[in-house]
Amino acid sequence: MIDASHDIPAIALRGLSLRYGRHVALHPLTLDVPKAEVFGFLGHNGAGKTTTIRLLTTLLAPTHGAARVAGYDITTQAMQVRANIGYLPENVRLYDRFSTRENLTFFARLSGVQDARRRVDEVLERLGIADLSNRRVGSFSKGMRQRVGLAQAILHDPQVLFLDEPTSGLDPVGVRHLRQMIDQLRAEGMTIFMNTHLLSEVASSCSSIGVLAHGRLVFHDKVSAIAGYDERRLEELYVSVVRQEDAV
């Protein structure tokens, strides 16, 4: 049983698992992510990272186990979970024929945001993308779409933000811009759970790290606890824990 008081972690998994038919995509996973942390979730292709995010965002129901996000149970309080999380999927879905402002106003109203127009302006300013307001998103680069997607994900001021490979396919300027946004949101107290393949992303943005291999958590620690935690050290660590798992 997970405590539902205010001191609980922003994200708490207890033996959470998922099978697709006979295939175990996620073995029982127990993990806490404290509030206002950026958690980097690493793992090879097919390790189970997206499956974990889909469980925590209530898009999939677990086969076994439980989890709380922002204090709410993902199975019995799915609506409350959804009201308190933002999700930026790898490929952002926007209405190409509409402007940034029109897209965001539509999504803000859909999620019941009060005074949607004012809130959209506020988020555009906060993320430094007011210059994109009146442009149609159909003409946007991947980096611009990601920025609008992030704005969409935080319109309702969620406590917890899930990012699935947020910088995948972005050029260095796009990566830098998104990182700055993530740093800013964390500084404001948001908890961020980020799937990534990039060790540079973990070294620059994350406070703690988990490594998943074949659906099992094979490493979990604070990034600062890894001696000399630069990108190279993280790479050595990543390769060693994934190799150990392969040898089992």
Q: Contacts from 13-17 at CB under 8 Å and sequence distance 24+?
A: 13/56, 13/65, 13/66, 13/67, 14/65, 14/66, 14/67, 15/64, 15/65, 15/66, 16/52, 16/55, 16/62, 16/64, 16/65, 16/66, 16/67, 17/62, 17/63, 17/64, 17/65
Closer Cβ to ligand ATP, 51 or 159, answer by number: 51
Provide, rounded to whole angstroms, the least separation between the CB of residue 138 and ligand ATP.
26
Run of H or E including 23: strand 23-33
Q: Name the site residues for ligand ATP (rule: CB under 6 A).
A: 20, 23, 25, 43, 45-51
Provide, rounded to whole angstroms, the least separation between the CB of residue 205 and ligand ATP.
18
Closer Cβ to ligand ATP, 40 or 43, answer by number: 43
Closer Cβ to ligand ATP, 113 or 175, answer by number: 175
Provide, rounded to whole angstroms, the least separation between the CB of residue 222 and ligand ATP.
22
Closer Cβ to ligand ATP, 41 or 107, answer by number: 41
Residue-wise burial string across 79-108, b where 16 or more C-beta atoms lie within 10 A, e elsewhere: ebbbebbbbbbeebebeeeebbbbbbbebb
Q: Which two tokens stand for residue 43?
A: 């793992």
Provide, rounded to whole angstroms, the least separation between the CB of residue 27 and ligand ATP.
11
Where do we find the tokens 């759970």?
193
Type of residue found at 235: E
Provide, rounded to whole angstroms, the least separation between the CB of residue 195 and ligand ATP.
6
Provide, rounded to whole angstroms, the least separation between the CB of residue 58 and ligand ATP.
16
For β-strands 160-164 and 191-195, DSSP reports them as parallel
Q: Which two tokens stand for residue 121?
A: 């302006």
